[in-house]
Chains A and B, each alone.
Chain A
Amino acid sequence: MRGLEKIAAWLAPNLAAAVLTVPPERWPLVEEIRLRAGRPLQLRLGDEEMWPRLEGEPVLVTAEDIARTLNIMTAASIYAYEAELSKGYLTLPGGHRVGIAGKVLRDGNKIRGFQHFGSLNIRLARQYPGVGEKLLPQLLDKVTGRLHSTLIISPPRCGKTTLLRDLVRLASSGWPAAGLAPLTVGLVDERSEIAGCYQGIPQLEVGPRTDVLDGCPKAEGLSMLIRTMGPELVVCDEIGTAADQQALLEAANSGAILLASIHGAGINDLARRPFGRELLALRLFQRIVVLSRREGPGTVEKVYLR
């Protein structure tokens, strides 16, 4: 089995058949598989939508199909994935992320899980080893070769996580060509997107010196790593709360290099938000990288030196 066949094996059989109607030469383009109860199956290949057909008919997804699919994904044990489900996602072996929507089950103000599953969005994890190589020299100190603390600003689906992952891999392995010595990396992977851990083991390439706190809230995770794992570089994705900011500040003060990402269209866009303004004012990051999708995902728009 390869590529899309492996993913299709997680789906209810009729949906798997529909997904595999994509011609094999286009398999590498598939980014998302979307299941919505009562509506047709949708795929996303790059910027293009696709509604697969079986025998000329669009494939209608039923609630039963979604239940079957989740049953396969959880090895018939929904209860064993409670923590992930209450956050609205699952991670499959291979690091693929399954986002979930539906009728939410609440416990007071907290989300306990789902009463009914309405939608699944399977986002295929793709590794592009090497995407960070072009950028990396700009993030290094010209004299010492030390990595600068870096913030990646990017709108969704511009390859922010992919870039972050490759930078982690490079930092963890070291990159002698650019004069970067290997670093011990502490990675807080709150949504299991960077390392794609399955049962605690990274499924994606994050380098030999990387310790991953999987599914851990960023603020707690950062201070936990600093206290226990002695990281030289700490990494987290999609920062956005005052607690995250505080934890980053503490990490920076303890001497660790920071690597983080944040949602945003650019540095001005970030500066307009109170959180972003404060973050920039702290001057925690010496390099700020802005991504876009102008020339495909992962286009580096600009690198700011600070």
Chain B
Amino acid sequence: MWLKLAGMLLVVGSSSAAGLTIAGQLRKRPQLLAALQNGLQVLETQIVFGAVPLADAFLHCGAVNQGAVGELFLLAAAKMQGNKGKTGGEVWQEAVEGWWRNQPLTPVDREVLASLGGSLGNSDRLDQAKHLALIRQQLAQQEEVARAAARRYCRPVSYLGLLGGLALTILLL
């Protein structure tokens, strides 16, 4: 009897925790997408107004941006160190690849972010500004989508976790 009860609690607990985690991710995604836009804005300032070489610009962005966005830039900065012959874009794509899996982002978000790699560092400042602005615009669109998703699914998902757990225990009884 006690064993059964403990089992039930475990099932209900873990499924509602899963629900809450997914809900948390839904909430965090638009925040992260907004922070990424800010981060790229800093990068744009470094490139367009400072003409700062990419390695230093990444380091600066890593220092200025908090949390996950800062981590992304620091990862890119580390990959620029001792980089022989890779383009800035390739380094950026590698950094995004190594970073995004632990973040509440979708493959589409990753795609947008990585697409910056096609142009980063390989043209003059005017051109760089255009590319960066385009990526920020696309991230803003993704943020909009993410906000809508969070509004719509946050609550249902957390309830679904709890209720799903309860349903499962009833079935198992």
Interfacial residues, chain A to chain B (CB-CB below 8 A): 12-13, 67-68, 71-72, 74-80, 82, 85, 105, 112-113
Bound complex: CA of A12 vs CA of B85, how far in Å? 7
Chain A-chain B contacts (Cβ-Cβ < 8 Å), number: 63
Interfacial residues, chain B to chain A (CB-CB below 8 A): 47-48, 51-55, 57, 80, 83-88, 91, 121-128
Establish whether residues A71 and B87, one from each chain, have CB atoms under 8 Å apart when the complex forms.
Answer: yes
Residues of A within 8 A of B128 (CB): 79
Known: A68-B85, A72-B85, A85-B124. A79 touches B51 (CB 8 A): yes
Establish whether residues B125 and A75, one from each chain, have CB atoms under 8 Å apart when the complex forms.
Answer: no
Bound complex: CA of A62 vs CA of B97, how far in Å? 28
Residues of B within 8 A of A113 (CB): 124
Bound complex: CA of A76 vs CA of B48, how far in Å? 15
Establish whether residues B54 and A75, one from each chain, have CB atoms under 8 Å apart when the complex forms.
Answer: yes
Establish whether residues B55 and A75, one from each chain, have CB atoms under 8 Å apart when the complex forms.
Answer: yes
27 examples of A-B residue contacts, CB within 8 angstroms: A12-B85, A13-B85, A67-B122, A71-B87, A74-B53, A75-B53, A76-B80, A76-B83, A76-B86, A76-B122, A77-B47, A77-B52, A77-B54, A77-B55, A77-B57, A77-B88, A77-B121, A78-B121, A79-B121, A79-B123, A79-B124, A79-B125, A79-B127, A80-B52, A80-B54, A82-B125, A85-B124
Bound complex: CA of A80 vs CA of B123, how far in Å? 9
Minimum CB distance partner of A10 in chain B = B85
What's the nearest-Cβ distance from chain B to residue A61, in Å?
15
Residues of A within 8 A of B124 (CB): 78-79, 82, 85, 105, 112-113
Residues of A within 8 A of B57 (CB): 77
Kindly list 19 other residue pairs between chains A and B, CB separation below 8 angstroms, not including A74-B121, A75-B54: A13-B85, A67-B87, A67-B122, A71-B86, A71-B121, A72-B85, A75-B53, A76-B54, A76-B86, A76-B88, A76-B122, A77-B47, A77-B53, A77-B55, A78-B123, A79-B48, A79-B125, A82-B51, A82-B125
- CB < 8 Å neighbour of A76 from B87, B125, B127: B87
Minimum CB distance partner of B126 in chain A = A112
Residues of B within 8 A of A80 (CB): 51-54
Residues of A within 8 A of B84 (CB): 72
Bound complex: CA of A78 vs CA of B51, how far in Å? 9
What's the nearest-Cβ distance from chain A to residue B81, in Å?
11
Find the residue from A12, A13, A67, A72 having the highest chain B CB count within 10 A: A72
Bound complex: CA of A75 vs CA of B83, how far in Å? 9
Query: 7 closest pairs, A vs B, by CB?
Result: A76-B88, A77-B53, A77-B54, A76-B121, A79-B125, A80-B51, A80-B53
Residues of B within 8 A of A75 (CB): 53-55
Find the residue from A77, A112, A113 having the highest chain B CB count within 10 A: A77
Minimum CB distance partner of B55 in chain A = A75
- CB < 8 Å neighbour of A71 from B48, B52, B85, B125: B85
Bound complex: CA of A13 vs CA of B121, how far in Å? 20
What's the nearest-Cβ distance from chain B to residue A1, in Å?
13
Establish whether residues B47 and A79, one from each chain, have CB atoms under 8 Å apart when the complex forms.
Answer: yes
Residues of A within 8 A of B86 (CB): 71, 76
What's the nearest-Cβ distance from chain A to residue B115, in Å?
17
Minimum CB distance partner of A16 in chain B = B85
Minimum CB distance partner of A85 in chain B = B124
What's the nearest-Cβ distance from chain B to residue A40, in Å?
21
Residues of A within 8 A of B121 (CB): 71, 74, 76-79
Bound complex: CA of A113 vs CA of B128, how far in Å? 13
Find the residue from A71, A82, A112 having the highest chain B CB count within 10 A: A71
Known: A67-B122, A82-B124, A113-B124. A76 touches B51 (CB 8 A): no
Known: A76-B86, A76-B88. A71 touches B122 (CB 8 A): yes
What's the nearest-Cβ distance from chain A to residue B96, in Å?
16
Residues of B within 8 A of A112 (CB): 124, 126
Find the residue from A72, A74, A79, A82 having the highest chain B CB count within 10 A: A79
Residues of A within 8 A of B48 (CB): 79
Residues of B within 8 A of A85 (CB): 124
Minimum CB distance partner of B54 in chain A = A77
Bound complex: CA of A186 vs CA of B51, how far in Å? 27
Residues of A within 8 A of B127 (CB): 79
Find the residue from A12, A72, A75, A76 having the highest chain B CB count within 10 A: A76
Bound complex: CA of A79 vs CA of B48, how far in Å? 8
